[in-house]
Amino acid sequence: MKKLNPPAIVKPTLAYTLDEASEATGIGRSTFYEAQAAGLIRFKKRGRTTLILTDELTRYLFNLPDMPGSN
């Protein structure tokens, strides 16, 4: 009888570093810093590490303007 592997445990991503957020979205680090300076996105700090909470990144992305003609 074939032994079944237990299902993998998927851990939710709670926060991204700026590099991870840039890689996931294609938005550059400098654009994130500009958005933060404009009050469009909030960062968190943990020591020297800058983090963007997943909910905050999602909110920022959903609030970006729609591309014309993409109704």
Minimum mean pLDDT range among 29-33, 35-39, 54-58, 63-67: 63-67
Task: Classify the phi-psi angles of 50: left when phi > 0, otherwise alpha if psi is within -120 to 50, otherwise beta.
Answer: beta
pLDDT value of position 71: 67
Terminal CA-to-CA distance of the chain, rounded, Å? 53
Taking only the tens place, the pLDDT of each residue in 35-51 is: 999 999 999 999 999 99
Would you kindly state where each structural domain of the chain is located, as residue ranges?
A: 15-62
The candidate with the shortest Cα–Cα distance to 41, out of 52, 50, 30, is 52
Minimum mean pLDDT range among 42-46, 55-59, 67-71: 67-71
